[in-house]
Amino acid sequence: MAKCVIIGAGPAGMSAALYLKRAGIDVLLIEKDVPGGEMLKTNKIENYLGFMEIDGGELALKMSAQLKNLGISIVKDKVLKVSKEDKFKIETEKEHLVADYVIVATGRVPRKLGLEDEDKLLNRGISYCAVCDGAFYRNLDVAVIGGGDSALTEALYLADLCHKVYVVVRKDLRASDVLKSRIKAKDNIIILKNVEVVGLDYNDSLSQVRLSDGEKLSVSGMFIAIGGVPILDFLDFDLETVNGYIKTNERMESNVKGLYAVGDVRYKDFYQIITAASDGAIAALSIREDV
């Protein structure tokens, strides 16, 4: 039994844990992987207040060390189901827990393009994370799919490793101006607008990407960065959502009493590390008022 169970140790979940612990509320933080979430896939963070530039993994370590220092342990386990009777019942791979409050901070998984052979070519040319897999494509040509901040961040990282980086955008870029100007300054990044990927050619691994305008890109790697799909399939509730994301009020409360959502799993306008941390703090402070 814990007063509050937080599911997911990205910046949103860790921030919620910090605030709850400091408010004297008994909290249990569960993470199926390593703490850090999406930060672990980012090599250079330049827009988190207090750090001119920091590696995502390093920032994640600093956050988890801060929790450890306060005596908060991050339990490595996977939540399978959350339901509610009088209290919340949290079923994990290892145990059954009961809590008065649950904060969902599970983030999202990368969206797939939905191409035939996309799954088959995973790790054989297709990747969803440049920081994780970019080194396999050193001095080779690659394509990045998407026109948002993630796609351009991936392209900039790859441009320092790869020979040529094509960015395939189905309409126009929607990334921030600072990223767009950095892309312009790289002469090995080629932006292709108003085109989509329609097919993949491969032998053992990816060799060619076919585009909707009839062009073919000879590339060894394709990095897909077209947004994400929120992870909430373990929630056994009639949950209100918007575009698949959990709908909350300004206090981070969902339509289920006692169930809060923070970070990338929540429907909102801006998905940033600092807004995730802010969501976590708000949820924790709302619970403190409610207890």
List residues near ligand NDP by CB under 6 A: 47, 113, 145-151, 153, 169-171, 174, 196, 225-227, 270-272
CB-nearer residue toward ligand NDP: 203 or 270: 270
Q: Is 129 a catalytic residue?
A: yes
Q: Has 132 been annotated as catalytic?
A: yes
Q: Classify residue 218 as exposed, middle or buried by CB count within 10 Å of its CB (0-12, 13-18, 19+).
A: middle
Q: Would residue 33 show up in a list of annotated catalytic residues for this protein? A: no
Q: By three-state DSSP, how is residue 12 classified?
A: helix
- Closest to 254 measured CA to CA, from 270, 271, 269, 235: 235
> Quick one: 151 or 265, whose CB is closer to ligand NDP?
151
Q: Which is nearer to ligand NDP, 8 or 147 (CB)?
A: 147
Among 26, 33, 132, 290, the active-site one is 132
Element (H, E) at 199: strand 197-202
Write down the catalytic residue from 129, 149, 162, 264.
129
Q: How far is the CB of 179 from ligand NDP (least distance, A)?
A: 7
Q: Which residue is nearest to ligand NDP (CB)?
A: 148
Q: Which is nearer to ligand NDP, 169 or 217 (CB)?
A: 169
Which long-range contacts (C-beta less than 8 Å, at least 24 apart) are formed by 264-268? 264/10, 264/12, 264/37, 264/38, 264/107, 264/108, 264/228, 264/230, 265/8, 265/104, 265/105, 265/106, 265/107, 265/108, 265/230, 265/231, 265/232, 267/241, 267/242, 267/243
Active-site residue (options: 100, 133, 149, 279): 133
The residues carrying an active-site annotation are: 129, 132-133
